[in-house]
């Protein structure tokens, strides 16, 4: 019992510190790097900023792949798949409930949803034989490069839509009040700032420290998940699909709620769907590519188990969201509540069935 409580505490603390390190140091340093490189908003958003928001899932997938010879690679897969379900159902659902409904740009959101469905198809093809080759891994990375190209071309070729009303972003203290965790967050931020300095000025050092911290905390998360799952008698992938997935998606949830409150519903939905596309095409493919290149293996066996069911859930939840969004180009508060109820069903069934759905 002691190991279970200790490992659970380690998971919760690690997720919290990971969220602060990513939101307050890693993303600001990437933002400054992007500015110095003079990247366009589309390229920066689809590359550096996507890496920033999905860094926890990416690092966990990488650590899981190298832990115990890859015996727990399904923890990384489960975290990313569970995060994808969380993003579609919870982030969009909470944003709609908090904002009283989300008004969206149907063409831009439709583009992101279609490409996300393509990324799910890629995942299905990889899972088909339970074996990942280097070519399959590189194909995922190439798919995301194509997506970045689509975003750039879209800016010039897509039909014009009314711009969402711009609003001044909330001040940092105000956002912390909304988040409700500003005291602990300030404490962790103060400690890290003593090491890195201001991330906007010492962006290279902040980037290096953030990477090291994210990797270290991801290792703790993977090991703690294995111990916790063994202690309560369920597969590690179940914990990854629920607890880890929700924890690592917390920064995205807060960011989406913020912009939803400002009346930018399209950005809230795009944040959720775009993050999923990155997770599936890069969050899984990049660790596979690194592992296959370094270890010189002919392929990696992925313990998918019942994750086939998860793929079906990913498709189903995405289609449900698409249907809701297609009605009057908005996601109503009532539809947001339905999405949240669907996520509750997902979690309850996952925990009670004992299968990695």
Q: What burial class does residue 171 get, using C-beta atoms within 10 Å of its C-beta: 0-12 exposed, 13-18 middle, 19+ buried?
A: exposed
Please tell me the predicted confidence (pLDDT) of residue 75. Answer: 79
Please tell me the predicted confidence (pLDDT) of residue 305. Answer: 56
Q: What is the pTM of this model?
A: 0.79
Please tell me the predicted confidence (pLDDT) of residue 319. Answer: 92
CA 7, CA 18: separation in Å to the nearest integer?
Answer: 16
Q: Token match 């109503």: residue?
A: 332
CA 144, CA 262: separation in Å to the nearest integer?
Answer: 29
| Domain definitions of the chain by residue range | 2-353
Please state which of the four CATH numbers 3.40.50.2300, 1.20.1420.30, 1.10.730.10, 3.30.70.20 is assigned to the domain occupying 2-353. 1.20.1420.30
Give the chain as a 3 state SS string.
CHHHHHHHHHHHHHHHHHHHHHHHHHHHHHHHHHHHHCCCHHHHHHCHHHHHHHHHHHHHHHHHHHHHHHCCHHHHHHHHHHHHHHHHHHHHHHHHHHHCCEECCHHHHHHHHHHHHHHHHHHHHHHCCCEECHHHHHHHHHHHHHHHHHHHHHHHHCCCCCCCCCCCCCCHHHHHHHHCCHHHHHHHHHHHHHHHCCCCCCHHHHHHHHHHHHHHHHHHHHHHHHHHHHHHCCCHHHHHHHHHHHHHCHHHHHHHHHHHHCCCHHHHHHHHHHHHHHHHHHHCHHHHHHHHHHHCCCCEECCCCCHHHHHHHHHHHHHHHHHHHHCCCEECHHHHHHHHHHHHHHHHHHHHHCCCC
Q: Is residue 215 within 8 Å of residue 18, measured between CB atoms?
A: no
Please tell me the predicted confidence (pLDDT) of residue 117. Answer: 93
Residue of 293, 248, 321 whose CA lies nearest to 16: 248
Please tell me the predicted confidence (pLDDT) of residue 40. Answer: 63
Cβ-based neighbour number of residue 348 at 10 Å: 11
CA 265, CA 47: separation in Å to the nearest integer?
Answer: 22
CA 145, CA 277: separation in Å to the nearest integer?
Answer: 11
pLDDT in tens, the chain (357 residues): 778 889 889 888 888 888 888 878 888 887 888 788 876 655 665 667 677 777 788 888 878 777 665 556 677 788 888 888 898 899 888 888 888 877 777 777 788 889 999 999 998 888 777 788 889 999 999 999 998 888 878 777 765 554 444 444 434 434 444 444 577 878 888 898 999 888 888 888 988 888 888 888 888 888 888 888 888 888 887 888 888 888 888 777 777 777 777 776 667 777 788 888 988 898 888 888 888 887 766 777 775 555 677 788 889 999 998 888 877 677 888 888 999 999 999 888 888 875 544
Sign of CA pseudo-dihedral 308, 138, 148, 60: positive
Compute CA 181 distance to the chain's CA centroid, rounded to the nearest angstrom.
21
Q: Is residue 297 within 8 Å of residue 65, measured between CB atoms?
A: no
Please tell me the predicted confidence (pLDDT) of residue 342. Answer: 93
């Amino acid at each position: 019992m002691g190991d279970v409580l200790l490992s659970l505490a380690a998971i919760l603390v690690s997720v919290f510190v990971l969220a602060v390190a990513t939101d307050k140091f890693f993303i600001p340093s990437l933002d400054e790097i992007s500015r110095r490189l003079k990247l366009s908003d589309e390229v920066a958003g689809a590359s550096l900023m996507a890496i920033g928001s999905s860094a926890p899932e990416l690092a966990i997938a990488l650590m899981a792949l190298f832990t115990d010879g890859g015996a727990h690679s399904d923890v990384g897969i489960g975290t990313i798949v569970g995060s994808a379900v969380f993003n579609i159902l919870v982030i969009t659902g909470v944003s709609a409930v908090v904002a009283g409904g989300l008004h969206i740009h149907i063409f831009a959101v439709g583009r992101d949803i279609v490409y996300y469905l393509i990324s799910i198809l890629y995942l299905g093809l990889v899972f088909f034989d339970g074996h990942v080759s280097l070519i399959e891994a590189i194909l995922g990375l190439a798919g995301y490069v194509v997506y970045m190209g689509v975003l750039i071309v879209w800016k010039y070729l897509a039909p014009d839509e009314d711009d969402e009303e711009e609003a001044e972003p909330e001040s940092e203290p105000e956002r912390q009040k909304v988040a409700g965790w500003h005291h602990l967050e300030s404490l962790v931020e103060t400690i890290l700032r003593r090491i890195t300095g201001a991330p906007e000025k010492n962006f290279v050092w902040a980037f290096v420290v953030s990477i090291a911290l994210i990797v270290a905390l991801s290792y703790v998360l993977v090991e703690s998940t294995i111990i916790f799952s063994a202690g309560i008698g369920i597969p590690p992938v179940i914990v990854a699909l629920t607890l880890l997935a929700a924890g690592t998606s917390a920064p995205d949830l807060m960011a989406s709620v913020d912009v939803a409150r400002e009346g930018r519903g399209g950005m809230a939905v795009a944040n959720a769907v775009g993050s999923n596309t990155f997770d599936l095409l890069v969050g899984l493919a990049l660790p596979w590519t690194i592992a296959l290149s370094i270890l010189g293996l002919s392929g990696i066996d992925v313990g998918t188990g019942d994750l086939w069911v998860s793929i079906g859930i990913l498709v189903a939840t995405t289609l449900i969201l698409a249907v809701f969004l297609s009605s009057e180009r908005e996601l109503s508060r009532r539809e947001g509540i339905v999405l949240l109820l669907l996520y509750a069903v997902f979690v309850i069934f996952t925990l009670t069935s004992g299968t990695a759905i």
